[in-house]
Chain A
Amino acid sequence: MVFGRSKAAVLVAVAAVAGGCGPTAERAPAKSQAVRPRVVATTTVVADLVRQVGGDRVTVDCLMAAGIDPHSYKATPRDADRLAAADLVVASGLHLEGKLAELLNRLGRRVPVVAVADTLPKDRLLPVATDLYDPHVWFDAALWSGCVPVVVEALAALDPPHADEYRGRGAAHAAALVALDGELEARIASIPDGGRVLVTAHDAFQYFGRAYGIEVVGVQGTSTESEAGLGEINRLVDMLVERKIPAVFVETSVSDRNVAALVEGAAARGHVVRLGGRLYSDSLGETGGGGDTLAGALRANVEAIVAGLTEKTTADADPAEQAPRPAAAGG
């Protein structure tokens, strides 16, 4: 009953906007010639990508603020207006923005909409079901660099005078991502064998695990919409105790209620599990913090994971709350 109502709400919103949408389509071409192109990105991760490629030449507006869960985000009529008034809409794709699909479909007729992850070769993606893939591709920096070309092309088409600039920045950013990839792999490798297990609230880190050699277990499934059953909780507690995993991790955009239950369950069996810190998963951090770019967020995550899993007795590293780190090269 609930999801029916929310779908209806989105449909009403979309209908209301579509009704008033006609005139803006004619205005769009005139805009891009006069002022900087206006790009609206759905998630903070995608917004970061567009900023890295576009630089000062484009205005990037992000639909979802930091800390919002994109799996369950429902658009408001204001959001629909913002999207419709954009020159270009960039989404992550692969059904990450589960509740925005219909809105983005309708928008596609009037405003160019690009779903960056949809362009990645399917053989490099992790399937979840038939024709359904895990959308959290940004955790594999090298894989994410494969999304750069489509952004470059979209910006070039929108703003041809600066196409070369976009291509240059794009290439630089892709190279930086590949370098970051190597750096992260080395850092994860520093965790002793047998201790490389990442337990988090939901299954966002499969690409991370595959890319950097760490086993990943999520309490909920790949979408935060599913409810964890008692069987899952028990199974995870068993695993935590048997393999003596020292830390579990919470996420900035997902409830840590499930994780608290795991910690308590393990404690009851005599195994102390720390809360290893709050990881960036479906969202980057607040602007001005160390985690407001993808590179910053990934580095912060890895540091927290390494700290948590190598059983240091320092205070919990919490990337989301630390002071801004000195900017690393190629960020």
Chain B
Amino acid sequence: MNPPACLAAAPALTHNTLVVAAGVAAVGCAAGVVGSLSLLRKRPLIGDAAAHTTLVGVAGAFLLTGRRDLPTLLTGALVAAVAGLAAVVLVRRFTRTRDDAATAIVIGVGFGLGIALLSGITARGLPGSAGLEQFLLGHTAALTARDAVVLAVVSAAAVAVVLLGLKEATLVAFDAAFAAATGWPVGWIDQVLVTLVAVMVVVGLPAAGAVLVTALVVIPPVAARQWTDRVPTLLLLGGTFGLVAAVTGVAVSAVVPRMPTGPLVVLAAAAICIVSLVIAPRRGWLARRRRQITLEPPRA
């Protein structure tokens, strides 16, 4: 697929750039949408727990199947992420630890186990094991067209699920007691949300790597929250900011030499967030300062 002639005039719009941009944009958008929901549900740490247990899945999938293609490894990562999130619930239930402490435990143990497995695989030199460690920091620039298609399909499916069940998810996020009392299966709805976050984290692994992928799920929604007081708009903005951050990161890394793409995407998202926190009307820092100033009592 050659880019059309007018676009080809731009210096950096090569096939590789378009493929990477398409894949990362899909992930950024979907992560922003799903992350907005989990922000509403006040569980930002589940993205972190999922991200840090994915390495165990990547290493495990390779050990079990000996294959290194993206769908196999990502399936392993997903299984591990879901297991990690289930472990958080189990730790909370059986040891009476708080939610954030249980999450931190799973993050530490999961990540340690993942690193240990990866190092073990590298040390044993199993054929084809080179490059598994790229899942730590991402290998965005090396996305192929097939990878991008996988990312795009999964991202679209995740967004579709969110849109389908938006009213149920909003109800549960806002007033879980009322939802339960009126017969909604709050536990199952929560589980679907948690699984969606795990899926987005896993799908974001090639784009940003295990260490940074949580950022894709957390930062754009926080930025979006500053601009709106309505749920549909929040999701739209979350997805848009994620997409813009992705495209910006890819564009900068295509033009500036020796810049890794994944971290640049995260930095772009962070920039959008900081700007939002400062200049957003009503919720932004500047706006609140202006309100404070105008509320000072008149001097006698």
Note all chain B residues with C-beta closer than 8 A to A224: 130
* In the complex, per-residue mask of B249-274: 1 if CB is within 8 Å of any chain A CB, else 0: 01001111111111000000000000
Of A85-93, A121-129, A136-144, A231-239, the stretch lying at the interface with chain B is: A231-239
Nearest Cβ in chain B — how far from A278, in angstroms? 11
Chain A 8-45 against B: per-residue CB contact (8 Å), 1 yes, 0 no? 01000000000000000000000000000000000000
The 8 Å CB contact of A74, one of B123, B129, B254, B258, is B123
Q: Which A residues from 189 to 248 make CB contacts under 8 A with B?
A: 224, 227-235, 237-238
Whether the Cβ atoms of B125 and A66 lie closer than 8 Å is: yes
Contact of A268 among B2, B112, B119 (CB under 8 A): B2
Q: Which residues of A contact B136 (CB under 8 A)?
A: 2
Q: Is B45 engaged at the interface, CB distance under 8 Å to the other chain?
A: no
- Total interface residues on B, CB under 8 Å, equals 46
Chain B 129-143, CB-CB to A under 8 Å as 1, else 0, gives 111011011111111
| Of B9-17, B97-105, B160-168, B185-193, the one with at least 4 CB within 8 A of chain A | B9-17
Interface stretch (choices A178-186, A259-267, A300-308): A259-267
Within 8 A of B (CB), among A56-98: 64-69, 72-74, 76, 79
Give the residue of B16, B119, B127 whose beta carbon is less than 8 angstroms from that of A234.
Answer: B16
Q: Is the CB of B115 within 8 A of A229?
A: no
Out of A79, A228, A269, which one reaches B142, CB within 8 Å?
A228
Chain B CB within 8 A of A104 CB: no
Per the 8 Å Cβ criterion, residues 127-159 of B in contact with A are 127, 129-131, 133-134, 136-145
| Chain A residues whose CB sits within 8 angstroms of the CB of B139 once the complex forms | 227-228, 255, 257-258
CB distance from A261 to the nearest CB of B (A): 4
Contact of A232 with B257 at beta-carbon distance under 8 Å, contacts A5-B115, A76-B123, A261-B141 already known: yes
A-B contact count (CB 8 A): 127
Determine how close the nearest CB of chain A comes to the CB of B254; give it in whole angstroms: 4
Is A6 an interface position by the 8 A CB rule? yes
Does the CB pair A230–B124 fall under 8 Å? no
Interface residues of B in 11-33 (CB under 8 A from A): 12, 14-17, 19-20
Given known contacts A229-B260, A237-B16, A258 and B142 CB-to-CB distance under 8 angstroms: yes
Tell me if B15 and A232 are in contact (CB < 8 A): no
Q: Is B228 an interface residue (CB 8 A)?
A: no
The answer to whether A255 touches B125 (Cβ under 8 A) is no
The interface residues of chain A lying within 8 Å CB-to-CB of B176 are none
By a CB distance below 8 angstroms, the chain B residues around A257 are: 131, 134, 139, 142
Contacts of B112 in A (CB 8 A): 5
CA distance A216 to B254 in the complex (A): 22
B residues within 8 A CB of A235? 257
User: Separation in Å of the B67 CB from the closest CB of chain A?
Assistant: 14
CB of A220, distance to nearest CB on chain B (Å): 10
CB pair A268 B15 closer than 8 Å: yes
Measured CB to CB, the closest approach of chain B to A104, in angstroms, equals 16
User: Which residues of the partner chain B approach A67 to less than 8 Å between Cβ atoms?
Assistant: 125-127, 129-130
The 10 closest A-B pairs by CB, nearest first: A255-B131, A268-B15, A68-B125, A65-B125, A227-B260, A265-B16, A230-B141, A261-B142, A230-B253, A230-B254
Sampled A-B contacts (8; CB under 8 Å): A66-B125, A68-B123, A72-B122, A227-B134, A228-B141, A228-B142, A234-B14, A257-B142
| With A227-B141, A261-B16, A261-B143 already in contact, 13 other A-B pairs whose C-beta atoms are closer than 8 Å | A5-B112, A67-B130, A69-B130, A74-B123, A229-B258, A231-B253, A235-B257, A237-B14, A257-B142, A258-B141, A261-B142, A268-B2, A268-B16
Please report A residues at the B interface, Cβ cutoff 8 Å.
1-2, 5-6, 9, 64-69, 72-74, 76, 79, 224, 227-235, 237-238, 253-258, 260-261, 264-265, 268-270, 283
